[in-house]
Amino acid sequence: DAGVIQSPRHEVTEMGQEVTLRCKPISGHDYLFWYRQTMMRGLELLIYFNNNVPIDDSGMPEDRFSAKMPNASFSTLKIQPSEPRDSAVYFCASSLTSGRLNEQFFGPGTRLTVL
Amino acid sequence: GESVGLHLPTLSVQEGDNSIINCAYSNSASDYFIWYKQESGKGPQFIIDIRSNMDKRQGQRVTVLLNKTVKHLSLQIAATQPGDSAVYFCAASKAAGNKLTFGGGTRVLVKP
């Protein structure tokens, strides 16, 4: 298996622009997580899905952030409009209910820079 | 809410020595604990986990110890190698669901 796939790996945009991050979880996994990692705040859970349904979005910073999972093999995290403080590495992770308990497999991340 | 924190931000260790990374958690309802390793430019990678009904678990060169009385977790790496240089995170979750709360991370630097 190729593991969790994220695209793009790097994104540089200007303040006010829309940014869309993409994730393909490991095939067969039923949980999908979006995290944000910064030096100041560490690794923060933004939102997670179970069987394509959002379960907990309490970590989403504000209305500028939205996430969707239209099917079991694809999810997006959108920021509109983007701001410089959104600059971070965004990770997607997936896990399997029947697998090792709470083991999440992380993608390589998308490094976002908002100028 | 639940919070998980680390005592030492950076640990420098001689190659071949043992490493110990510590972690404290605040929520006594936490049932599962996991250690992740993150190398530069990569996502976190699972190392080892432990349930709250255990106080010790061993893997290959790694041992996790759990002290529920003082809400403390540690990761021991035996015979530390250059490839062990990374940032290590502890994470905790409650019994229900798969939501993990991560600690701030400890950087381990292995000196040759």
**B51-70 pLDDT tens trace:** 999 999 999 999 999 999 99
Is residue B99 within 8 A of residue B93, CB to CB? The reply is: yes
Using the predicted structure, report yes or no on whether residue A22 has a pLDDT greater than 60: yes
Q: What is the pLDDT of residues B72-100, one digit of tens each?
A: 999 999 999 999 999 999 999 886 456 78
* Cβ of residue B53 closer than 8 Å to a chain A Cβ: no
Q: Does A101 touch chain B (CB under 8 A)?
A: yes
Q: What mean pLDDT comes out for the span A71-90?
A: 97
Query: Which chain B residues touch A101 with a CB distance below 8 Å?
Result: 32, 49, 51
Cα separation, B14 vs B11, whole angstroms: 10
Interface membership of A106 toward B (CB under 8 Å): yes
Name the minimum distance, in Å, from the CA of A15 to any CA of chain B.
24
Q: Rounded mean pLDDT of chain A? A: 92
